[in-house]
Amino acid sequence: GENVEQHPSTLSVQEGDSAVIKCTYSDSASNYFPWYKQELGKRPQLIIDIRSNVGEKKDQRIAVTLNKTAKHFSLHITETQPEDSAVYFCAASREETSGSRLTFGEGTQLTVNP
């Protein structure tokens, strides 16, 4: 099955700096890669996703890049703000063959210091 690894497990940045979180996956057939933000005790919230037919996607301060050859994808947050502090999870799935059966990375605790 799919195995997703995520790094770093914790990340502390100053407000205004950029934050980068990286994930690797093992199943070359995976084609859907979402990123979720989870605040303590809350449900995961989708913040951005990318499919295997594109290499990069951007939404305001958030961007995701995908390298299919190397089987890794990254989340980039620019101009970080204290409200960006949360746990971020990457995930991967074979969207077409098994619905949206996601395999999650271990998570990254992001802390943005004012």
Residues that bind other proteins (CB under 8 A): 32, 34, 41-46, 49, 51, 89, 95, 98-107, 109
Least spacing, CB of residue 101 vs other proteins, in Å? 6
26 or 109: whose CB is closer to other proteins? Answer: 109
Closer residue to other proteins, CB minimum distance, 84 or 107: 107
Q: How far is the CB of 16 from other proteins (least distance, A)?
A: 27
By CB atoms closer than 10 A (0-12, 13-18, 19+), residue 1 is exposed
Q: What are phi and psi of 65, to 5 degrees?
A: -120, 150
Q: State which residue, 9 or 18, has the beta carbon closest to other proteins.
A: 9
